[in-house]
Amino acid sequence: MKQKTDRGFSLIELLIVVTIIGIIAAIAVPNLLASRRAANEGSAQQSLRTIASCETTYLFTDGAGSYTDLAGLGAKTLTDSVLASGSKSGYTFVAVAQAGNPPLYWAYGIPITTSGFTKTGTRRFAIAEDGVLRGDATLTAPADEAEVRTMSPSGN
């Protein structure tokens, strides 16, 4: 006589496994998104340092004593094409050149998505010709260089 054996998982065992996987995902996904936002912010800070370096190079070479915008930096291949397009790593970048004596510029980066589950950053960053990287939690574009200079230095 052949003995009957039950093989496989019961419905209860499968539900327990699915519940455990759900709990792990609920813990891991927010941490993953926070890490992505932190990486975006680090990339934005470095992109502004790159813009500052490129503006100084442009001032003393092709600019003949004046600064330019991101498109101008990209046209002279001082920045990569991604940064010159104005959008990189979840941030929008703008560089504003002001003619005068002395010439001035200021540049800023703000998150593309500022709210919700998929927000790309929690801070804005800016830099001017003084080379000080600044940042704060205001998620709107600074109006002018004076507003950039009122932002807190980022300390890094």
What beta strand segments (E) does the chain contain?
87-88, 91-98, 104-111, 124-128, 134-136, 152-153
**DSSP letter, residue 65:** S
Q: Report whether 90 contacts 120 (CB < 8 A).
A: yes
pLDDT, one tens digit per residue, over 14-61 is: 999 999 999 998 888 888 889 999 999 999 999 999 999 999 999 999
pLDDT, one tens digit per residue, over 48-102 is: 999 999 999 999 998 888 999 999 999 999 999 999 999 999 999 999 999 888 9
Interstrand relation of 124-128 and 152-153 (parallel, antiparallel or unpaired) = unpaired
Tokens at residue 3, please?
Answer: 């003995």
Burial of residue 5 (CB within 10 Å: 0-12, 13-18, 19+) is exposed
Nearest-angstrom CA–CA distance, 92 and 133: 16
Q: Note the pLDDT of residue 9.
A: 79
Mean pLDDT of 135-139: 93
Rounded to a whole number of angstroms, the CA Rg of the chain reads: 24
Query: Average per-residue pLDDT in the chain?
Result: 91
Tokens at residue 144, please?
Answer: 């002018």
Q: Report whether 58 contacts 77 (CB < 8 A).
A: no
Nearest-angstrom CA–CA distance, 114 and 125: 14
3-state secondary structure of 104: strand
